[in-house]
Every structure is written in structure tokens, then in C-alpha cells.
Amino acid sequence: MVKVLHILGIGYKPLTQEEEALLLKIPKIYCLKGTLKLFERYPQFEKIKEKIVLFSRVSELISVLKKELDEVIVLAGGDPLFCGIGETLLKEFPKEFIKIYPDLTTPQILCARLKIPFYKVRVISIHGRYFSEEMFLREVSLNPYLFVYTDPEKNPAFLASLLLEKGFETLTLYVGEKLNYPDEKITLGGPEKISKKTFLEPCSLLIENPKWGSHPILGLREEEILHEKGMITKDSARAVILHQLEPPQKGIIWDIGAGSGSVSLELARLSPHLEIYAIEKEKNCCKIIEKNCKKFFITNIKIIEGKAPQVLKELPSPDRVFVGGTGGKLKEILLYLEGLENLKIKVFSFVTFENLNDALCFYKEKNYKLDLIQLQIHRFSSLKDYHYLKPENPLFILKVLRA
């Protein structure tokens, strides 16, 4: 195991006396090939270039470091802990063996050039990583500024084309090419302009969204949500169900009998830190939930196709459960949920007296606090020149709290 691992950030500011002394003193300096280009511009490069060992992949570097017994340096771009190699190395080696020397970061530099306060900027990296369209578009819609570490394939032109396709025409995009190099360049434009250009590496993208936060986080309308055959929890009922669930900012929630996924969608939009499991036995309904997730750029819903309670056994333990449909297996679901000792809140919606009675009888003798609501909604409607209140089907909402 390496004796001391110095992770030295480079790229923008001059080296300190301490950092320069380390480079001259320590015999082995490890570096990824992409990072070497940053270091070649430093005046110290010529003095120590013979000590530099290059790697193409992070996994190769880690393998060598695990066999290393001496004090070594790893060169990293910018701040090693800001979407950089530092976080990866901290997972592989004890913290007490690591020392980190941060440089400035690319988003800091670009924001300084553009006179944009850096603290207002959300930063994500898709450089060499899995790319989710829904995740990216959700981040764009939720933030006033989004900085993206891009790569040669998922480049600014590619992202601009995606934004244009999805209707984000009013955004302002800033592309930073070769920041802090002599031929540094910053290009400003809308998605259409940026989608038609080619940019030199290394480059990155900053997206300004003047309409961020304008979309409601709660209150999807029934006509907005894809569904069929009336398989959807009505708007007003959804509001009551969410209130009864008391959703935390972070945690796991099961939506059993999800149907079109309307309750799951509302929960997922409340916090990106919630993990929602939409459990639905009908294949076609699962496809509809998937389409709704794409429509609303939602990434924190996992669709589980299958019958409850059988499929529940493979899922992580929930903090909340909503049961909107049982497929005739209410008693079996009640028994299974009873075994989840850490589950504090369960909420059920029932249309029939029989299902409601079965649930009440099940919990009657147990140490639970029950809260039962009978929801009857009347909607303002017209009939020729007259107006009246049109009733919807009554709904029972049962909240079960572990004492």
C-alpha cells in the first residue's frame, strides 16, 4: 500500500512553493494522459518530465498505486475532489494516507469570465460517464445555471440538439473552449446556434435557464398524465394521499398498484433524493409509467412489473408505502407489510366497503393509529345553459401509523 498519496490539482493557478518542492523531491509522479497536456504548460515540466508515469485508465493507475510502497504524486485537473479523480481514490485508499492540493475548477473559471456568481451554479459531469437524457433535462429545468463537464461524444453540440428537440429554445448556452490556454474561446448562443457548431477539446457547457423554477412541483393535471381506461388517481385525491404519506426529503417509497404512475410522479417531483418504486402487474401500465417518466424528465422512479406481494421481497425496505391497487391480494399485502418493522406510515385508497372493512379489521387489534378520510369531490360542470356540481366516485383514504 502506498505510503503517502499526494493528489496535486493543476491547470489554472501557479504552483505554490510547497507543491513545487514536492514535485522536485518525490521520485514518482503518476498522471493520466489527458492531464499531462495541462502540466506541459508549467515551467516545472522540463525539470521533472522524466519522473512522470502515464496511464490511459483510472483502473490501471489504482492497480499500480495499490502495489506502491513509496510516497507518490498523482496529478489531477483542477480540484481533485470536484468531479475529479480525488473522490475515486478516496474510495480505494485510507484518508489518512492522502493529501490533496486543489487548484481552481473549470466552472469557476468560466463563471469568472462570464461574471456569473459561482455559488448559483449546479455542476454535473457526463465526461466518460453514463448519460441519462431524463436526468440531464430535469437538471436543466430545475436550475438557473447548469454547468456540464462534457466529453468528445456527449459534446455541447450534441446536448444543444437534444435541448432543441425537447423544446428548450429559450435557453442561453455558453461553451468554454480550451479555457486558460492561449487560444481560449467562449461562444454564446441558443440551442439552435450551438447545435450547428464544432468545438475544440477540452470544452465545457454552461446553460442559463431564465424560466427555471416556473413549473409546479406539485399539481400535475389529469389531462397531462398519460393513462387509459380511467386508470388514474384523481387530482384532488392525489393531493390528500401525498399529505397523508408525509413524504420525507430523502428515502424510499413504494407505490403498490401504481396504474398510470400518477402518485409516483407527484412524489418523485417533490425531491430528487426520493427513490420511488412503482409496482404494477399490468405490462401496458408499466409502459405508460415509463412514458410519463420521460415526458416529465423524471429519473428517480423505478418501475417494478409484477404482482404484489411476491415482487416486494426483492425491493429495499421502504420508509413509506402507498397502496392504490391490490389485484385481489389485499390480505396478502397487509400481512407482508406487517413484517416490515421499520415502516412507519402506510396509506391505502379504497373504493369498495369490503376492502376498507378488511383493512380496518386487520389493524383493529394491533398497536396502530388509524386515520380514515372519506373523500367526496364535486366538480363544477355545465349542462346547456345550466350549471351543477358533478360528483366523482367517493374514495376512502386510510392512513396507518405505527405507534
Q: Print pLDDT tens along the chain (403 aa).
A: 678 999 999 999 999 999 999 999 999 999 999 899 889 999 999 999 999 999 999 999 999 999 988 899 999 999 999 989 999 999 999 999 999 999 999 999 999 999 999 999 999 999 988 999 888 998 998 899 999 999 999 999 999 999 999 888 899 999 999 998 889 999 999 999 999 999 999 999 999 999 887 778 899 998 899 998 777 888 899 999 999 999 999 999 999 999 999 999 999 999 989 999 999 999 999 999 999 998 888 889 999 999 999 999 999 999 999 999 999 999 999 999 999 988 999 999 999 999 999 999 999 888 889 999 999 999 999 998 999 999 988 999 999 998 7
Other C-beta atoms within 10 Å of 240: how many? 19
pLDDT at 1: 67
* CB-CB contact of 163 with 185 (8 Å): no
**Pairing state between β 29-32 and 52-55:** parallel
Domains of the chain in start order, with CATH, are 5-103 (3.40.1010.10), 107-208 (3.30.950.10), 222-402 (3.40.50.150)
pLDDT at 155: 97
pLDDT value, residue 69: 85
Pairing outcome for strands 203-208 and 251-256: unpaired
C-alpha cell at 33: 494522459
Half-sphere exposure of 167 (CA within 13 A, CB side): 6
What is the 8-class DSSP label of residue 312? Answer: G
**104 CB-contact burial (10 Å; exposed 0-12 / middle 13-18 / buried 19+):** middle
Q: What are phi and psi of 169, to 5 degrees?
A: -75, -20
Residue of 33, 88, 25 whose CA lies nearest to 57: 33
